Amino acid sequence: MEVPALFHLAFPVHDLEKARAFYGGLLGCPEGRSSPNWIDFNFHGHQIVAHLAPDECGHRHTSPVDGEDVPVRHFGAVLAMADWEALAGRLRAAGVPFIIEPQVRFAGQVGEQATMFFLDPSGNALEFKAFADIGQVFAR
């Protein structure tokens, strides 16, 4: 059986229970293995691991992109547009503040995308995107 290429990301959190509630509960990522120091999550088919490391938490720098200050260190997923819209609604309903409100970036240009940025409870920046035309993901 051929194994598909899966992405793996380990990131710091200051509280595993808050990470469990955020990633497992709000974002709907099924939990995998865990220990007293880390938790695996199925992040849209990829493996992310929240490691208890309070001193390494938070985002610190931004970079200008299309008129917005985008957190330099961030991760996320490219979703189908309907899933992106549903997530934006869940985040709003939960009162999660956005660093960059849900919007369309690069409107009418190559790479047009819906995007939003927000922080997890440990201050890690996340970006979720959607493309009306998935062929634009790597367009130049």
32-48 pLDDT, tens per residue?
999 999 999 999 999 99
CA-based nearest residue to 113, from 95, 128, 123: 128
Pair (79, 96) in one structural domain: yes
Let me know whether 39 and 72 are in one domain: no
Segments forming the whole domain that contains residue 84: 62-136
Determine the pLDDT at residue 140: 86
Confidence band (pLDDT; 50, 70, 90) for 60? confident
* Length of the chain measured in residues: 140
| Residue 69 half-sphere exposure toward CB, CA atoms < 13 A | 6
Give percent of the chain above pLDDT 90: 80
137: nearest Cα among 129, 100, 5: 129
Q: Within this chain, do residues 81 and 128 fall inside the same structural domain, yes or no? A: yes
Mark whether 73 and 37 lie in a shared domain.
no
CB contact set of 60 (below 8 Å; sequence gap of 6+): 72, 73
Cα–Cα distance measured from residue 63 to residue 88, given in angstroms and rounded to the nearest whole number: 23
Is the pLDDT at 15 greater than 90? The verdict is yes
Torsion of CA 58, 131, 106, 28, to 10 degrees: -20
49 and 68 inside one domain: no
